Chains A and B, each alone.
Chain A
């Protein structure tokens, strides 16, 4: 296959020396940041990542509608799905990857294993455009992916009480909602901590 976007393999530069993982790195986990276009997902990835955020992509084809559509293969359209991601070294052995994208989230959910393998998700919302996050919340619910909701604190965004937002988003009572500033490392870190505590509480609840 000819990939015009591929660099000559001679000129590939790998991670900067400070971005290299130790040999002891034995396993990775991932968290996905979703929320619709322009809510600050890439900003959040960048603010907590220890590496400069990178981009990976996948080429997918959208099949025609209908199970028996064997004749229409020429009508399939190829879609390139790009994802930005960052990394946090949790310990010498464990690495956390954060995926978030400026692009079309609809296609992420068709990327086999992307959400299934995630520990959980952060839904980032902008109260000026709450409706852009409706679709992803529905898709997470369908997939059974646990998530927390983080309200990215844009200066001119309307303020709603948490319970108003919970109702508007039709969230279960247990789903945490918190304010955050995705540009700030500590704030984004706190969102991830809230997600982990929530996931932890789910394990306790099931015992």
Chain B
């Protein structure tokens, strides 16, 4: 990924030293920006979403668009009724979470139930693939130009 670089000068004349020569934090040159050190690709930290091991298979991401496909029954749980009311027009899961003031994973649980009951539709996001879709990027650029 990193293109090969030629030999770089050591710290002198206010130049920030290269990561490959010496760590800058030991002897920062006056006026030079601090030097980032590239890390080895290991990631020992692990966090788990509270809803547990289902997160990989969750039907929704933050930017999945949800649209109601039916009305809430009078006996529906308040959260279900709220989602159905908010999603008369498409709304992302992130927006739902913000408006209902519940964590993302809790909203996901509610949506799983509503999807199973066929009361909402989910419109999956377009995610970055190994080879991004050029026409998608062109569409985004076109839209940004209108801002």
Q: Name A residues whose Cβ lies closer than 8 Å to a Cβ of B.
A: 1, 3, 5-10, 12-15, 20-23, 25-30, 48, 54-63, 65, 78-80, 83, 85, 87-91, 94-97, 99, 106-107, 109-114, 116-120, 127, 130-131, 133-134, 137-138, 141-142, 158, 160, 164-165, 167-170, 172-173, 185-186, 189, 192-193, 196-197, 199-200, 202-204, 206
Closest 10 CB pairs of A and B: A90-B143, A110-B47, A54-B98, A9-B78, A117-B127, A134-B36, A28-B63, A56-B97, A168-B33, A25-B90
- A-contact 0/1 string along B89-125, CB 8 Å cutoff: 1111011011111111110000000000000000111
- A-contact 0/1 string along B1-39, CB 8 Å cutoff: 111000010000001101100001000000111111111
Chain B hits for A137, CB < 8 A? 36
| Given A14-B85, A21-B89, A203-B131: A168 in contact with B16 (beta carbons within 8 A) | yes
Chain B hits for A60, CB < 8 A? 47-50
Q: In the complex, which residue of chain A has the Cβ closest to the Cβ of B2? A: A172
Shortest CB-to-CB span from B131 to chain A, Å, is: 6
A27-B65, A110-B47, A142-B43 given; name 9 further pairs at CB < 8 Å.
Answer: A27-B123, A27-B126, A63-B46, A91-B139, A97-B63, A119-B128, A141-B41, A168-B16, A185-B147
The contact of A29 among B35, B63, B95, by CB within 8 Å, is B63
| Given A130-B34, A196-B144, A200-B138: A55 in contact with B98 (beta carbons within 8 A) | yes
A117 to B104, CA, bound (A): 16
The contact of B101 among A7, A10, A79, A199, by CB within 8 Å, is A7
A170 to B1, CA, bound (A): 12
A8 to B63, CA, bound (A): 24
Chain B hits for A83, CB < 8 A? 94
> Which of A22, A58, A59, A134 counts the most chain B CB atoms within 10 A?
A58
Chain B hits for A131, CB < 8 A? 34, 36
Shortest CB-to-CB span from B70 to chain A, Å, is: 15
- In the complex, the answer to whether B92 meets A28 with C-beta atoms within 8 Å is yes
Chain B hits for A199, CB < 8 A? 132, 137
- In the complex, the answer to whether A138 meets B46 with C-beta atoms within 8 Å is no
B145 at the interface (CB under 8 A from A): yes
